[in-house]
Structure 1
């Protein structure tokens, strides 16, 4: 998914300079841009800096819907649809951002369409079997349909669900509006509707044109203050912070698919306690919540350098504060933590840093990122991968003849994780409702819904610990629930009876079914997915079966470290044999002794090694073409029951060093390996997010843990070359791949 599109994709390309889309196609300076925008608003004019980033992201991914923003107002009472439509029509005529259209080209531009805008759509689901469900499904559909930037960039519906329950929905593209715009529209629509119901006239005055903001944005970028702001941010980020969230997999989630957010409702008394702690130190809710999340990631990620993106309304005067448009921006706020810091210390650090950053908030995030990228001489300069926003909604709405039940905003993440603390105080017809909801919007490229739910439950534990004593050092703050602590501290569970009945390659095949396209093994720039590795191992297994390999038969394998070595081991196990690893770096005398002593029925090797072994054992050459006898089913998993293969059969034979005499072959069964992996799993919680390095020789028994620990938990196995394994520096670098 395009999760850091504002902060990443835009930075991969050159800056789009402001350009006049006029017959002579000439560039304008900032003063000319300002004059052009305000004097001739019907002509195309440039996008603001943040608009350009949004345009770029949407253009790359036309199906993208995480720039769809909006709200749905749920109403109880008598609503007159024609009056509501007329009230909304007046709203959209007052704010010219609703008439914006985008012009694509070398540099994107926008203009105000002169054609009449369509009215609000009216839908009546009252006659359906389940009108509430039908209405809510229709609302969801409207929010999840992508916009075409060349067409109208908003849609609105009035929906009736029977029994005096109404929904008013507005969905628009982020390129023409922001969160503040939505709050303005809710209030203005209700005021217009109530006036029309009472027979009063509506205010005819137009709001400030969005072109005015674009002009001021262009003027600022060539002003002295812009240079001062740039110097501040460059000094703040002479080094880049480490990323908080690694991606889950190399496969990309379709941009059109967005998960539902995870919500955390804070009870009123709990939120009052938060307010009390913040006010005790003369700080705000945002300072408290910044500190809470910073302490969480310090504990979970052991990161002492935390940067969050803090969204800003970015409206600089009274006129802008009452106008619809894309004014919002975001600033990167960075603090450094130590284990000795108390929670109150972290709050104060957040407050101090925010105070400094607010003075330089005018420089758009796209410009901050671009200039830091140039300073660092890097292809990307991601300053943060999580945004944190505190949104207090104190709205007094009066709808004549009806009351507002609730207002639900709609927004999705443009980063791996976007957290919004929504505090609602809605007064409708002298009745007030209050609630606080922490909303987690996330990308499936970085999190599963279960990951976010675990995060939320741990944050709840951390929050309670902070509220009990805000002077507790970060390193001592609680973060695990009672259940998690008990699970972590309890003895390793007894192995289920059927766990010891598993075959080692069956555990691998289970991971193939779970994540077939995930990367399974990597060697010097080459890689195989779980599906590809499984199919190639199956092909070898069927070839060995045709050669007469049966359970408990030994099959020697002599291969250099690489992908074929992993394929060979799995193929032998799938055929029912036990593999006997012969490391080519061993002396010829030792290799010949192991071959003679183990008496394998077959040998898996390369053509360049088979001659050095000088053995009459039937050989399968991994670098030779597939035999003519292979059939189309050879890529399918062999059926273990056919040869009677079971967990008590041989998995491998590894020889001792021979330091006290001749090397001795130690025979290990499938159930010994599966027992090892099953017992260790609850202790280490291995998962598909883990990367393992195979550093040891496959003729040394620790390699079994490295190899199957990765492939049987869905992780990624890095096969380290022999030369690299002998260099500590190179081995560490390989393990980070």
Structure 2
């Protein structure tokens, strides 16, 4: 119970279709394999971590699940064939489901995660005699209609060594397993894995998905993400788990060439956009970066330095990773500088169109839990009044004391107090960049 404490017992898939009250158990399969080069990387990682290939694949699968569902902890079920003393004399096939917890923490490298998974699997095997149904009761897992309790994602292993060698007169050979389309799904998502061996060095996979909630293209995208994670992780296991790519190289090239046009894909890195602007400001500081409809111009150097000063002020006010900053600024250079400053501070930006009604703007600030709002002096009193009125009826957890940064005053007297140098990097590629509210999503 302690091991499973705090982990979500129902996965929020953000699925394509609403889950029916009664599961049909209909499914689809995405079949794929990894090349021999990946098998070599897997073998080296297995030796380094003193783990099995199953544990390594399980770690990669956990990363894919965590990043697709936007959570740090996931439960994956693995079947375990074992007879307890009370069933040793019974005829039949006895399986127990082992819930395996995977915590994809930001600080972990892939090899760190493999070590965590290795220890988790060993610990679970030592308690494999506990019936799954008893675990469900002990944890108090939510029983949602149409879904399995506690475990909605699974993994299975089919060892090639289980298949016998064929000996016929005049020829020799062996039986190799093949992944097949079964048309069923016992869980929402199940990864089938056939490890490589000397006679068949390719790894085989089958991602079985529940067609009640997933479309085929979504399952195919999940499979592509898993392939990208495994290829990168097996080649560079010291990469932080949150920096492993979710797209394969051919997908990146397709997006950047066919969909966008550039011939050079070398700039496609995991660096946030403000790092790219800093690099351009260093290479071509005098080139024009911004030109507003009023005729105001800013070079890349001016743009970057202004954003740096404002970013240092935002950081002083508590802005950091995943902290949104409201932008109630008319379109122009100040708005773009403000957005870049929020990103440099490690935060995210929340556009607030001054033409919107006060209650809608206040609701956006509260719903996003934005503690800071950048505002022009002409809108300051209006902004204060609307936030004061909204605070009286604000739900628990909404910011009560929003700080206002008046952009006119900042450039007039405050900017000189802050350095023009780039702030120490704070945001990572997986951190929040912006929050957008649409009328469809809020109903207001």
TM-score (norm 2): 0.51
Higher relative contact order (CA 8 A, sep 6+): 2
Q: What is the aligned counterpart of 1:308 among 76, 81, 100? A: 76
Q: Distance in 2 between matches of 1:297 and 1:252?
A: 22
Is residue 2:55 matched to residue 1:287? yes
Is residue 2:193 matched to residue 1:421? yes
Once the two structures are superposed, residues 309-360 of structure 1 have per-residue CA deviations (whole angstroms, 9 ceiling, x without a partner) of 121122469x979x97321111111132221110011001111111211111
Are the equivalent residues in 2 in contact too, given 1:305–1:336 (CA < 8 A)? Answer: yes
Structure 1 unpaired stretches of 5+: 1-233, 427-431, 495-696, 707-723
* 1:122-521 alignment runs, 5 A limit: 234-241=1-8, 243-250=11-18, 252=20, 258-315=26-83, 325-373=92-140, 379=143, 382-394=149-161, 395-398=163-166, 406-408=176-178, 412-423=184-195, 435-482=202-249, 484-485=251-252
Structure 1 partner of 2:303: none
Q: Distance in 2 between matches of 1:725 and 1:442?
A: 45
Once the two structures are superposed, residues 375-419 of structure 1 have per-residue CA deviations (whole angstroms, 9 ceiling, x without a partner) of x7x555943310012221312244656976655476643110011
Once the two structures are superposed, residues 36-74 of structure 1 have per-residue CA deviations (whole angstroms, 9 ceiling, x without a partner) of xxxxxxxxxxxxxxxxxxxxxxxxxxxxxxxxxxxxxxx
Q: Distance in 2 between matches of 1:310 and 1:240?
A: 17
Structure 1 partner of 2:349: none
How far residue 489 of structure 1 moved from its aligned partner, in angstroms, is 6.9
Q: Distance in 2 between matches of 1:302 and 1:434?
A: 33
Are the equivalent residues in 1 in contact too, given 2:100–2:120 (CA < 8 A)? Answer: yes
Once the two structures are superposed, residues 229-259 of structure 1 have per-residue CA deviations (whole angstroms, 9 ceiling, x without a partner) of xxxxx23234341614244323649966734
Across the aligned residues of Structure 1 and Structure 2, the Cα RMSD in angstroms comes to: 4.5
Distance 1:491 1:456, change over 3 A: closer
Is residue 2:395 matched to residue 1:729? yes
Are the equivalent residues in 1 in contact too, given 2:28–2:210 (CA < 8 A)? Answer: no
Distance 1:325 1:727, change over 3 A: farther
Distance 1:383 1:269, change over 3 A: same
- Tell me the SS of whatever aligns to 1:446: coil
Are the equivalent residues in 2 in contact too, given 1:247–1:445 (CA < 8 A)? Answer: no
Are the equivalent residues in 2 in contact too, given 1:275–1:284 (CA < 8 A)? Answer: no
Distance 1:487 1:407, change over 3 A: closer
Structure 2 partner of 1:94: none
- Tell me the SS of whatever aligns to 2:156: strand
Give the total of aligned pairs: 273
Once the two structures are superposed, residues 276-317 of structure 1 have per-residue CA deviations (whole angstroms, 9 ceiling, x without a partner) of 211112111121011111222333333111211121122469
Are the equivalent residues in 1 in contact too, given 2:194–2:204 (CA < 8 A)? Answer: yes
Distance 1:414 1:379, change over 3 A: closer
- Tell me the SS of whatever aligns to 2:195: strand
How far residue 260 of structure 1 moved from its aligned partner, in angstroms, is 3.6
How far residue 448 of structure 1 moved from its aligned partner, in angstroms, is 1.4
Structure 2 unpaired stretches of 5+: 262-354, 365-389, 399-440
- Tell me the SS of whatever aligns to 1:236: coil
TM-score (norm 1): 0.32
